[in-house]
Amino acid sequence: MPRPSPGWARSPLVSPRRTDVTVTSGGLPRRAATAAIVGPGNIGTDLMFKLLRRSDWITPRWMIGVDPTSDGLRRAASIGLTASAEGVDWLLAQDELPDIVFECTSAKAHAANAPRYEAAGIVAIDLTPAAVGPYCCPPVNLDLNLDAMNFNMITCGGQATTPVVAAVSRVVPVPYAEIVASIASKSAGPGTRANIDEFTETTATALEVVGGADKGKAIIILNPVEPPMKMRNTVFCAIPPEAAEPGPLQDQLNQSIFAMRDTVREYVPGYSFRADPQYDHARDTWNGMARVAVFVEVIGRGDYLPDYAGNLDIITAAAARVGDLVVEHRQGATGIPAGAVSTPASSTSSTSSTSNAAQPTGAQA
């Protein structure tokens, strides 16, 4: 049986903030927690760069896949991660295990892997629509159980639109919310395409469970236009008739919506509105309800893919943020001085690491 890593959850040592981070001889930063990324496709590779460049608490140490020609595995090995094409079986057989696994494969794969991670004492942050753990949207439900062993990041569309629905529902009742997520076809890898049904189901449920709508519906469009379009999301919320009329209630709604936008932009700078919220008066065909429409655009930071892949950027940024929050919570970091670091990260690549480049593939993207 593999022995657990001497991780952050069991150690009094804490990582300094990023300005004080030291680096191992192999080039990886020393931080309080170690992580494995399972799935070296578009999302997994983008997440790797986000953690390396911006995480305060987490060092990615392992990149795990099943295709030895994966470009993501090659890139990970080239910058010092241990990269293996032998899958989760290989990872769980190691003497030292990661503190956190970021699952970037598919909903079916995570449903199978999740019990194994928990049995090994590894926290799982799930970037697939599997929804094994609680739905997690950083600007909305930070009061979630940070001691859980599995966190679901909903979907890219869920991360972009659930905050808007939540911003509306904290002011007025929302009996129905509908979102349409439009993304560039080039930004959608095999994982995304294999998870279309799970995407719509998980996103719609998150609009209800996290967003606060009584009923949710989600639609995704993969647009093949050239040049590739930026990610755009249209959010429709049914609202009481009086909220669609100019006045104090509508002002309160607008204030809530724009405040939520600013909160999301703290970790996704490319998150913006294409226009001010648009209000439609009540109609009989809407069961006497009025409607507010919000038009969201997400431009990626370009950590791995071009800026049109905002759908990747928002879910990887959210996952990295949740990972930091989980580690910080379990460290009890408030008031602890910087200076101590966890066990140095090894940068030696495994024998299954590859050096031949291929086009980015696979995983949930």
Pair (189, 317) in one structural domain:
no
- Asked, for residue 292, whether it belongs to a domain, the answer is yes
Q: What are phi and psi of 298, to 5 degrees?
A: -125, 120
- Asked, for residue 352, whether it belongs to a domain, the answer is no
pLDDT level of residue 29 (50, 70, 90 thresholds): confident
Reported as a single tens digit per residue, the pLDDT across 57-102 is: 999 999 999 999 999 999 999 999 999 999 999 999 999 999 999 9
pLDDT at 26: 55
Pair (47, 172) in one structural domain:
no
Pair (276, 212) in one structural domain:
yes
pLDDT level of residue 285 (50, 70, 90 thresholds): very high
pLDDT at 139: 94
Task: Decide which of 270 and 346 is more confident.
Answer: 270
C-alpha–C-alpha distance, residues 101 and 331, integer Å: 18
pLDDT at 123: 97
Nearest to 362 by CA among 128, 65, 48, 60: 65
Q: What are phi and psi of 90, to 5 degrees?
A: -65, -45
C-alpha–C-alpha distance, residues 217 and 166, integer Å: 15
| CATH number of the domain where residue 278 is located | 3.30.360.10
- Asked, for residue 360, whether it belongs to a domain, the answer is no
pLDDT level of residue 144 (50, 70, 90 thresholds): confident
Pair (262, 191) in one structural domain:
yes
What angle (nearest 5°) sits at the alpha carbon of residue 76, between those of residues 72 and 82?
125
pTM of the full structure? 0.83
What would the mean pLDDT of 142-151 be, rounded to a whole number? Answer: 86
What would the mean pLDDT of 117-121 be, rounded to a whole number? Answer: 98
C-alpha–C-alpha distance, residues 14 and 338, integer Å: 8
Q: Does position 14 have pLDDT exceeding 50, yes or no?
A: no
Cross-sheet strand order for the sheet of 58-64: 82-84, 58-64, 33-38, 100-103, 123-126, 150-152
Q: Retrieve residue 141's tokens.
A: 């439900």
Mean of per-residue pLDDT scores for the chain: 86
Pair (171, 118) in one structural domain:
no
- Asked, for residue 338, whether it belongs to a domain, the answer is no
Across-strand partners of 220?
181
Pair (221, 280) in one structural domain:
yes
Three-class SS of residue 299?
coil
Low-confidence winner among 15-29, 31-45, 63-77, 119-133 (lowest mean pLDDT): 15-29
Q: Is 156 a catalytic residue?
A: yes
Q: Does position 1 have pLDDT exceeding 80, yes or no?
A: no
Total count of domains within the chain: 2
Across-strand partners of 36?
62, 101
Q: Does position 353 have pLDDT exceeding 70, yes or no?
A: no
C-alpha–C-alpha distance, residues 302 and 46, integer Å: 8
- Asked, for residue 247, whether it belongs to a domain, the answer is yes
Dihedral-angle region of residue 39 (phi above 0 means left; psi in -120 to 50 means alpha; beta otherwise): left
Pair (179, 290) in one structural domain:
yes
Please give the share of the chain, as a percent, with pLDDT higher than 90: 76
Q: Does position 5 have pLDDT exceeding 60, yes or no?
A: no
pLDDT level of residue 287 (50, 70, 90 thresholds): very high
Reported as a single tens digit per residue, the pLDDT across 304-334 is: 889 999 999 999 999 999 999 999 998 874 4
- Asked, for residue 356, whether it belongs to a domain, the answer is no
Are the C-beta atoms of 269 and 278 separated by less than 8 Å?
no
Any idea of the CA torsion for 96, 101, 104, 110, to the nearest 10 degrees?
100
Give the structural domain span for 292: 156-298
- Asked, for residue 243, whether it belongs to a domain, the answer is yes
- Asked, for residue 131, whether it belongs to a domain, the answer is yes
Pair (148, 45) in one structural domain:
yes
Alpha helices in 122-232 (DSSP H): 156-169, 190-194, 196-209
Pair (191, 280) in one structural domain:
yes
Please tell me which residue in 104, 136, 137, 156 is annotated as part of the active site: 156
pLDDT level of residue 128 (50, 70, 90 thresholds): very high
Please give the share of the chain, as a percent, with pLDDT higher than 70: 84
pLDDT at 191: 76
Pair (110, 177) in one structural domain:
no
Greatest alpha-carbon span in the chain: 68
Reported as a single tens digit per residue, the pLDDT across 180-238 is: 999 999 998 787 888 899 999 999 999 999 999 999 999 999 999 999 999 999 999 99
Pair (250, 289) in one structural domain:
yes
Give me the numbers of helices (H) and strands (E) for the chain, helices first please.
9, 12
| CATH number of the domain where residue 131 is located | 3.40.50.720
Pair (109, 161) in one structural domain:
no
Nearest to 154 by CA among 321, 294, 319: 319
Q: Does position 143 have pLDDT exceeding 50, yes or no?
A: yes
**CB crowding 162-173: b at 16 or more within 10 Å, else e:** bbbbbbbbbbbe
Q: Are strands 82-84 and 271-273 parallel, antiparallel or unpaired?
A: unpaired
Q: Does position 272 have pLDDT exceeding 90, yes or no?
A: yes
Residues 6+ apart with CB under 8 A from 192: 199, 364, 365
